[in-house]
Structure formats: C-alpha cells, structure tokens
Structure 1
Amino acid sequence: MVFYPPSWVPSMPSPPDSISIPEFIFNEEHGRVPLSESRPFFTCGVTGQTVSPVELKERVDFLARGLAQELGWQVNQGSEWDKVVGVFSVNTLDTLPLAWATHLLGGLQTPANAAYSTAEVAFQMKDSGAKCIFTCLPLLKTTLEAAAKAGIPKNRVYILELPDAITGGAKAEGFTTVSDLVERGGKLPKLESLNWQKGDGAKKTAFLCYSSGTSGLPKGVMISHANVIANSLQIASFDNFYRKTIPFTEGKRYQENCLGLLPMSHIYSLVVICHVSPYRGDGVIVLPKFDMVQYLTSIQQFKIASLYLVPPIIIAMVKNKAALEKFDISSVKIIFTGAAPLGAETADELSKQYPSWLIRQGYGLTETATVVCSSSGHDIWFGSSGSIIPHVECKIIDPVSMEEITAYDSPGELWVKSPAVTLGYFKREEANKETYITDSQGRWMRTGDEAVVRIAPSGNEHIFITDRIKELIKVKGLQVAPAELEAHLLTHPAVADCCVIAVPDDRAGEVPKAYVVKSNSIGLEESERMTKREIARHVEREKSKHKWLAGGIEFIDEIPKSPSGKILRRLLRDKDRAERKKQGAKL
C-alpha cells in the first residue's frame, strides 16, 4: 500500500530539472519572491552584518569569476567532478554564496562537518577529489593538516571570514579570503552561462554530503541540483497552506527571520534553512555555534520567528526556563525540529511553557535531500513526524517478508519515492544496490528506519518513526555509524570483539556505548579502569567528539550474535536498559 500526502496538502507543478540551483534561487521566473521584496538572505547574528539580495547576487557572480581565474576553471569544460570545492568551516555568511558561485562554474561543493577530526576531513577531501578547501580561522590548523594528508597544496586553502568578535581580531596572514576573490572577480569579464540541456539539472551533482550510512566509512551522497530545487518547492508548497492563515501576518505576504544555527554542512540546514528560506523571501540569522546567551540575544535582537532546532537544544530550553525569561523572545512563533525524534513529553513541556508556539517536527535523510514528512502548523500531533509532503510517496515494508504493509499501526521499514531522492552514493555501487530500489512503482529509497502510519485526531495520516532498522546513533543530530567505531576499536590490542550501541543522554539525546570482549593478551593483573581509559583515548585520538564513547565502555564475555554472525544489538540495548533501571531503583 502506497501512502500519499493528505488531501489538504497543496498540489505543485513538477520541479524544473534543467536549471542550476543559483538560477532557481536568484531568477524570479521560477516562482521565488521578488528579490526587491525579500529580506536579506543571510545576516550575521553576532554583528548584524548583511547585504541585500541584489547585492548578494552580484557577490556570487563576482566570486564565481574570481574562482574561475584562481583555479583555472572554464564554465562549460569538464564535469562537476573536475571542480570539487571542499568546505570545512563553522557557519559563515559566505558558505552558501560560495556553493552557488561554484555551481555557476559547473562545479560542486562537498561540505564537511566542523566537528570532524583531521583524519575525517582528510578522508572526505580525498574521497571526493576536492581540488581546494575553504575553512575559517578557528579550524585552519586542522584544515592544513587534513589538506596535506589529502594532497591539497597549501595555496589551495582559502578562508571564509568570520567577525572579529569571534576570531578576536586575528587574521589568517598569507591566505586568500573569499572577499579577496570577490574583489578580483569584480574586475574580470562576465562568465559565460552554463550550457545545459534538458534534464541536466537532475543528472549533475551540486552537493556531495557525507552520510555515516550503516556500515564502514562515511559515504558521499550525490545530491543533484534538481533534488535541492524539488525539496525546496515541496517544503514551500506544504508550508504555504498554513502560512497564509497565520494571524500575525503583516501586509500581503508573510515573511520572517529564521534561525541559522544548525551546521550548514548538515542536509537539514543546507536545504530547509539555507535554500527554502531565501527562496520564499525570509531572512536567515546566521550563528557559528550554540551558545545559550548568544542564541537568546539573537532572537531578541532580530525578532526571529522560526527556530530550526534539534532535540538537545529544545531540552536545554526546557531545563533553562529562568534563562529564557531574561530575554524578550516574544517574536518566536514556530519551533521546527528534526535530525532526531523529539519526545512527546518534551514537546508537551515546552508547549506548556510557551502555549502560543507551534511546535512542529519533520523527518528526512541526506539520501532524500531532505524532508519526507512534516507536521503542519494546523495539524500538530506531538511525537509524530507529521504528514507526507507534496510529490512524495511512502510505503511500509515488512523487513522479513519484504511485502508491503497495508494496515495502520503496523511497523516496517519506511521506503520513500520523491523527486528529491538523491542520485546515490559516490563510488559505492554495492551500497546503491542495497539502498536505492527500482520496482514497477518507480525508484525508492530504503530509509532503514522503522515507521508506522497512524490516523491523527484530525483524521489525517501521520508518520511515526519508531526505531532504526539501520543502527545509526544520533548525537545532537549528528550521525554515528556503530560499524565505523567497531572497526576502529578492533584495531586496539586490548579489544578482541566489540559492539557499539546507542544509550540515552540528557544533553545529546543519544551517545555511543561500547561492549568490549577483552583480548587474551590483557592479563588479569591489568586494571580494568586503565584499560577502559586506553580504549576510550584510542577513539578520541582519531574520531570527532560526537563519536567518543560518552556512554561508557563495559567489558563482556561474549558479544551476542545470530547464527549468521549478525550482532544482536537489541539484546545489549535491553541489557543496558535493565542496568539503568536497576541503578535508578537503588537511587
């Protein structure tokens, strides 16, 4: 049984598949709010620095010219894989303009998470074939080390500028900045336009975002121009239904400032915040990192109406009501959360504190670029991930029989069909065969998430994500693949076998915990505490902080496995829950 959007969801035209993202963002022929009537696309939440949409369009054009000269790239020569631009930075005003400038040259951007370690950045840059890398001053040291490992010369490391308030006034002497490239480009001839044929927008990769997937090293997800354009239109159409009815609308068209705190390297921020918002004329208030005081100050100063968040930040808000009450956050109208499920109890508690807020939740993946379903402002059901958005079809598949489930409240794996479903994994054919399935109904993406469809009190179908068939751990919205950590743990001489599971954490939502079978080389006289610390440090030396074993390490005699050798993680999760319950009873 295929599930579709509810009848109230607006229809929308087929997304264009022959244009680039910057043409969609800046050209008013494609339905965007006129640039002259739009708010500034990106405004610094620390300093208030910004430029008008018209000025930004010119900046992107000049930056593309400067890049072309600097890197020796020709617009219509070679493919996007000859023009890969790496980005390893916190959020800046130029992160997305840099991507759009790269697209004007026929290239692509591969953004790396700012929390990555040197080894992880080096892997992504080398795997993607990045020809250069843009970073920011606080991450310059790590970037230079990663670039050297990836074979990127020092003169191909560039700087995305941050306010002096963040850098302390320090400058990256000897490195070319984005502003330098823009200044040069303003003196160069105009570039030729992309010579694309029909369908090229659906074939050409715009972003190569790395997903932890379910096993091994992270995989590059090839996101086409048409994928981003399609999901932007899907979200805008879905939201228009209730945005037209919002009672606090001023004038003929509702526009707002929204929060741009979540990392622009993450697909949630990349599409939902950084493309949808500018397209519909909203402004994005950019913050480089989460700091409660700066966060609340920005809401107060810029009258932010929509907060795009992840559950750990919402939990922090619930637990710090006194801090929130020191600021004027009356401008907030909407909370939108994604990247990990928000518990109904937490949503209910926040709603009691701020009953006028619309607390919405959405669901999506890097591989679906991005949103699959979302709760609307007029149909909120706490715990639900909302209703299917336009041009998306879903089905629930029994993971054992592989047959379609037709009943409500019956769990199975969620499969998704959408024009935003991505091209596939870069150089990972086996993973593509497992994840992207074509049948008589079309091309589907297997999410690996267990879901059920339920009827809401409103009478509409809602999707609930109930578990993960693919064993990802989500730490503050960031994905951690247990298999990646297990493979690394097995390189330590004290580890004979291991299993990594997700355990609950008040601040991060989930954190990794390792069950370890000690190697025979570890003598009885050796301290378990010291051995655990050595194993933990082994992870901390090579992996990002969100991948550290914050849930602890527990020694075990044997890792439970099925006859086929598959780790029975559920048994270890049950063991951990029982131990926590027992400890709670003692307290």
Structure 2
Amino acid sequence: MPFYPPSWVPKLPFDPPDSIPICDFMLEETWGRHPLGYSRPPFTCGLSGKAYSSLEVRERVDYLARALSKELGWSPNSGSEWDKVIGVFSVNTLDTLPLAWATHRLGGIQSPANAAYSAAELEYQLKNSGATVLFTCVPLLSIAKEAAKKAGIPDNRIYILDLPKEFTGGKTAPNGMKTVDNLISEGEKLPRLEPLAWKSGDGARKTAFLCYSSGTSGLPKGVMISHRNVIANTLQIAAYEKKFRDAKIGVGNQSDYIENALGLLPMSHIYGLVVICHASVYRGDGVVVLPKFEFATTLQAIESYKINSLYLVPPIIILMTKNKDTLAKYDLSSVWSIFTGAAPLGQETAEDLQNIFPSWKIRQGYGLTETSTVVCSSSPDDIWFGSSGSLLPGIECKIVTPEGKEVTGYDEPGELLVKSPSVVLGYLNNDKANKETFQDGYMLTGDEAVIRKAPSGYEHVFIVDRIKELIKVKGHQVAPAELEAHLLTHPAVNDCAVIQVPDDAAGEVPKAFVVKSPAVGLEENDRVLARNIQKHVEEHKARYKWIVGGIEFIDAIPKSPSGKILRRYLRDKEKEARRAKGAKL
C-alpha cells in the first residue's frame, strides 16, 4: 500500500504551475514568494559581507540575461533549451543562482559541475550535456580551460564568476576574460528582452537544470530537472515548514518570519541548489554564502551574521561533536535549527550534538537528485533521532521487498519508491537507466527504507542504507551506516567507514576503516586499539554485526563533496589488497 504524509502536514497551497520558468517563480510575487522589498538579501558573501537586495538581484538577472542574449546569440523564444546549455564549474558565489535564473530567462539550461572534479571528469560532463558555454572561477580556471578545450568550448566562451579577494588571494580574472559583473554592466545598456512565450505544460516538459548523479548504479548520468520539479519541491518544503515557522512568531502568516541560513554546501549539489538556494530565498530568507568549508571560517560566519539555520552534512556534524573546545570560542546563540541530509546521520552522533547544544532542533531530511530533492524531513515538533522524518505534502511512497512484495505495515524493510511532482523527467540519453529507475509513476531509489510509527503517533521514514551496500551476514542484513554511527561514539575514532568482505562461513562480514582521533597517542599499539574498538561494537550490537573482518587504520575516509562515504573506493582497495595476497574475492 502507498504511504502518505501524516495528517498534520498541510496540502500544497496550489498546484505547482507548469507554464512558467523558475526565474519568474523566484523573482515575482505572483506565486507566493515572500515580498521582494521585505526579504533579506538573497545571497550575502560570508567572507566580504557583500550583498544585493532581492530587487537588485531581480535587476541583475534581467541585465545578465540581456547580455548573454547578445553575447551568445540566444533569444528567449528561439530554439530548444538543449541549444542553450551553460556549464558551471565553480565554488559557491553570489551570482551562481542569478546566473541560473538568467539562463532560464533565455529558455536555457544550467548544468552545474562538482567543483572537486578533475579536468577529465569535467570534460565528460561538458561533452555529455552538450554545453557550449562555461562559467568558472579564478581558482579553478586552469582545470576549466583544459576540460573546455577537449570538449570543444573555445576560450571566448569561458566566463568568470566573481569571488571575494579574501578567497582568491587577490587574484582577478585574466585580461580579456569577461566576468559576470562585466556582462551585467553591458546588459544594463541593452534593450529589454521579449517575454518567454510558454504555453501550458512547457514548465513541466522543459529541462532547467542538468545535474549529474550516479543514480542507483553506474557512471554519472545527466538528470533532467524541469522547471516544475524545482517549483514543486520549493512549494513542498515551504508548505511543510509553514506551521513551525508561523509558531516562531505566533501568527498564521508565514511571510512575517524570515531568517539567515548557512549557504556552505555546494550549489552544484541538489541539496544546496534546491533546499538552500531556492526554498530559503522563496521564503524571504537570506543565504550567507561560503565558497568552501573551513571550520573556523564557518563558525565565524555563524557568529558574525547571526545565522539561524545550519544546512549541513554528517561529516561536518561529526567534526563539531569532536571539537567542543573550538565550538566554545564562538557565539552560536543565534542558531535554533540544524538540517542535515545527503547521507544518514546516526542516532548516536545526533545525541552527541544535542548534548552540546540542548536547545537546537536537530533535523534530518532525505532526498535524491532524481526527486529534486526532499522526500521527507523532520519537523521541529516531531524529532526522532535516526529518522529522516515524515513525507512532504504531495508525496506518496511504497516499500517493496526484493521479492517484489509491497509492504503494508511498519518495521518491514524494502526498497523505497517515490511518487511526487518533483520527480524528474529522467536521465539524458539513457533509456536503460530510465527503465530501471522510473516505473509506473514511481522513482525507484535504490535505498532500503522502513516505515515506523514515532512516539508522537506519526509515521517516519528510516533510510537503512543503499541496497547494494548492505552486508549479508548468514542471511542477516547489516547496514554499514548503523555500524559507522556506533563506531563514531568511540573516543579513538575520528571518522570511519564500513564495507563487506568475503567470509567462508558467513558469506560476508563487516570490516571497518578507521581514522584515529588526534587524541590517540603515537605510542598506542594499533593491534590493541583495533581490538578495543571491536569490543566497543561487541558490547552493544548483535553478534552478526560484529566487526569480524577487522579494523584497518587509514588517514582519511573518501567522501563526495556532499558528505557521502565513497565505499566503492574502499571496496576496490580491499579487493586489490586481497588479490595481492591471493585471497578469495
């Protein structure tokens, strides 16, 4: 049977419009956006303090669209969106989203790339997306140029997103290269563009963002995210959170409460792109933009800009719980809410953070690029550590066992299937992946989940782990995320990851890769320390969950920029080591 949002979750205020571009939805007040003149500056640089008001951002988007139209020969109503693909390879900047909205104003597509990419990885995305233009930033310019050249993008179609000198070390765009500010100055002198002549359904059919995801398996695939997908999830988040935002001021008008949000996570990732940069701005909040994560810089920005909501990923939360003395040096009293996603946050880690900050609401959400983005989220009034909260309005889901049986009750695991107006159009030029992932109106997530009833009486979604990463010990399923969360409670463990290794008797057993805490002395014996960590698990977990495959100490756990543990790298490392020893693979 399908599962639906709890009774307390309101319905959407109106159906997500399907005939407008994202830029109109975000920069006009027609569709419920917080009044522009009474919003906080949408984006403020957390290093320099530079900011533009909502009205100024709307003006900058207009001027930038005019300049791009002349520069590139693109007009709003000519050609397909696939003729107007702009690649973006940059750290976070004040103009990353205004550039996207200017692209949408021309009926084009923005394809954001991970700022940690190598030239070869960026080249793949540029070629696969069909991008003919690339925006980058000064620190990444050499990689961008190398990739662009191999992808057939000439130097005169590479442009620079401006960054504060505090970040670039005083370096500016090379002579002859145009920046976003240059383009906006040119656009101010150009005539207005013709309006987009969209008919009903165009917003649901046309791609706005082409983000790249591995999906449930394989190489990164271009995920076609429509205008309506982003609009729908923005409305879903706003409607879901209206009740407790209203409660902060004791009235029934959401538009009266606005706050500052942390804009640290990559704007190239769906979490940063939709949850932070669209939902926050739509509600009138300000996003304090940081180009990269540095612990002290982030804490200082929270103090200086009195940030209220922190959008984080588990590795940063783990770092916070391991560095209480550093936290104590900063005034974090403005914070009331933590929201985490992109990877599971273990119950133990959440409890550790709550002990440090008892008043903080520690919330978790779940979503994917393919659901653009949030599927479920914790309400501040109904937090259950380990849970990813309840379904957002307009979403339904199913749990299906490996045998194809549809789960009808609680506490029975299976693959999570999601139906929502935010579920994307599909993967670009990949019929095989589309058939595997999108079936009968549902998106097959590849994640194992279980529905449980919270003490409050409401249904919560628990994400157990990626189905392909679950460890099968004598028929029992062991979730790496559960063991990782428990290992992190050991004082000698600074970070960790768990994978499966072959075992003659059990089929598979867990093995842990551990980064030692700085508190561990050099004189401590690794063998003794490893056994001590294993005992920590044995004292608290069922026998089949014990770390029988051993403990291996490493310098760092491989992770994506969004905080996901890249276990496949560790599995490959383990296979190579076992092959070298002639062991069974």
Q: Which interval holds the TM-score relative to the shorter structure?
A: 0.7 to 0.9
The 8 Å contact of residues 513 and 550 in structure 1, kept in 2 or not, is answered as no
Distance 2:447 2:272 in 1: 21
Do the aligned residues in 2 keep the contact of 1:511 with 1:549 (CA within 8 Å)? no
Q: TM-score, normalised by structure 1?
A: 0.82
Q: Which runs of 5+ in 2 are unaligned?
A: 472-479, 503-553
Whether contact under 8 Å (1:115, 1:544) holds in the other structure is no
Q: Which residue of 2 aligns with 1:128?
A: 129
Letter in 2 for 1:466: V
For residue 185 of structure 1, report the CA deviation from its aligned partner: 0.5
Q: How far has the Cα of 1:555 moved from its partner?
A: 2.5
Code of the aligned partner of 2:303: Q
Provide Cα deviations, 1:225-249, integer angstroms capped at 9, x if missing partner.
0000000000000001111112699
Question: 2:578 is matched with which residue: 549, 556, 571?
Answer: 556
The residue matched to 2:222 in structure 1 has which SS? strand
Tell me if 1:154 matches 2:155: yes
What amino acid is aligned across from residue 375 of structure 1 in structure 2?
S
8 Å CA contact 1:336, 1:362 repeated in 2: yes
Q: CA deviation at 1:259?
A: 0.2
What does residue range 399-548 of structure 1 map to in structure 2 within 5 Å?
Answer: 399-400=402-403, 402-438=404-440, 443-471=441-469, 510=497
CA 1:124–1:252 in structure 2 vs 1: closer, same or farther (change >3 Å)?
closer
SS in 1 for 2:442: strand
Q: Could you tell me how far apart the structure 1 residues matched to 2:3 and 2:15 are? A: 19
1:470, distance to aligned residue in structure 2 (A):
4.1
Letter in 2 for 1:177: T
Q: CA deviation at 1:448?
A: 0.5
Residue 310 of structure 1 aligns to which amino acid in structure 2? V
Bigger mean CA offset, 304-313 vs 543-552:
543-552
Distance 1:167 1:417 in 2: 43
In the TM superposition, residue 514 of structure 1 has moved relative to its aligned partner by 9.9
Deviation at 1:215, TM superposition (A): 3.2
Q: Tell me how far apart the structure 2 counterparts of residues 147 and 447 of structure 1 sit (CA, whole Å).
A: 33
Distance in 1, matches of 2:495 and 2:192, equals 48
Q: Deviations over 1:164-186 (max 9, x none)?
A: 11111112212110011101100
Per-residue CA deviations over 1:495-520 (Å, capped at 9, x if unaligned) read: xxxxxx999586666488999xxxxx
Q: CA RMSD in A?
A: 2.7
Q: Distance in 1 between matches of 2:500 and 2:123?
A: 26
Structure 1 residue 75, shift from structure 2 partner: 1.1
Which residue pairs with 1:256 in the alignment?
Answer: 259
Q: Which residue identity does 2:5 align to in structure 1?
A: P
C-alpha displacement at 1:148, in angstroms?
1.0
The count of corresponding residues between Structure 1 and Structure 2 is 505
Q: After superposing the two structures, state which structure 1 stretch, 245-254 or 344-353, moved more.
A: 245-254
1:380 to partner: Cα distance: 0.2
Equivalent residue in structure 1 for 2:226, among 224, 233, 244: 224
Residues 229, 406 of structure 1: CA spacing in aligned structure 2 closer, same or farther, 3 A cutoff?
A: same
Assess, with a 3 A threshold, how the Cα gap between structure 1 residues 509 and 299 changes in structure 2: closer, same or farther: farther
Give the counterpart letter for 2:434 in structure 1. N
Residue 26 of structure 1 and its aligned partner are, at CA, apart by 1.0
Residues 455-498 of structure 1 deviation map (CA, whole Å, 9 limit, x = unaligned): 0000000000012114499xxxxxxxxxxxxxxxxxxxxxxxxx
Deviations 1:372-427 (A, max 9, x none): 00010100000000000000000101122x12110200000000000000000000
Three-state SS of the structure 1 residue aligned to 2:197 is coil
8 Å Cα contact 2:92/2:290 also seen in 1: yes
Do the aligned partners of 1:454 and 1:464 also contact (CA within 8 Å) in 2? yes
1:281-296 mapped onto 2 (5 Å cutoff) = 281-296=284-299
Report the Cα distance in structure 2 between the residues aligned to 1:403 and 1:19, rounded to whole angstroms. 40
For 2:228 and 2:180, the matched residues in 1 are separated by 27
**Letter aligned with residue 445 of structure 1:** M
2:57 maps to 56
Deviation readout 1:77-117 (Å, 9 max, x if unpaired): 00110000000000000000000000000000000000111
3-state SS of paired residue (1:144): helix
Residues 146 and 159 of structure 1, relative CA distance in 2, 3 Å threshold: same
Normalised to the residue count of structure 2, the TM-score between the two structures is 0.82
**Helix, strand or coil at the partner of 1:463:** strand
1:368 pairs with 2:351: no
Question: What are the residue-to-residue correspondences of 1:6-405 with 2, within 5 Å?
Answer: 6-12=6-12, 13-173=14-174, 174-246=176-248, 253-400=256-403, 402-405=404-407
Tell me the amino acid that sits aligned with residue 379 of structure 1. Answer: D
Query: Which amino acid letter does the alignment assign opposite residue 556 of structure 1?
Result: R
* Counterpart secondary structure, 1:18: coil
Of 55-64 and 164-173, the range deviating more from structure 2: 164-173
Identity of aligned residues (%): 62
Query: Residues of 2 paired with 1:513 and 1:120: CA distance?
Result: 28
Distance of 2:183 and 2:444 partners within structure 1: 42
2:5 touches 2:391 (CA, 8 Å); kept in 1? yes
> What is the CA–CA distance in structure 2 between the aligned matches of 1:189 and 1:472, rounded to whole Å?
58
Q: 2:413 touches 2:449 (CA, 8 Å); kept in 1?
A: yes
Report the Cα distance in structure 2 between the residues aligned to 1:245 and 1:427, rounded to whole angstroms.
46
Letter in 1 for 2:385: F
Shift of 1:556: 2.5
Deviation of the 1:352 alpha carbon: 1.1
1:509 and 1:116, CA in 2 relative to 1: closer, same or farther beyond 3 A?
farther
Q: Cα 1:80–1:60, aligned 2, differ >3 Å: closer, same or farther?
A: same
Runs (5+) with no aligned partner, structure 1: 474-500, 516-535, 561-570, 573-587
Decide whether the 8 Å contact of 1:116 with 1:544 is kept in 2.
no
1:523 matched residue in structure 2:
none
Distance verdict in 2 for CA 1:180–1:380, change over 3 Å: same
- 2:234–2:274 contact (8 Å) kept in structure 1: yes
- Change in 2 beyond 3 A, CA 1:186/1:258: same
Q: Distance in 1 between matches of 2:321 and 2:562?
A: 27
Letter in 2 for 1:78: G
Q: Is the 8 A contact 1:5 1:387 kept in 2?
A: yes
CA shift in 2, pair 1:282/1:217, >3 Å:
same
Distance 2:263 2:94 in 1: 10
CA contact (8 A) 1:159 1:178 kept: yes
What's the offset of the Cα at 1:223? 0.2
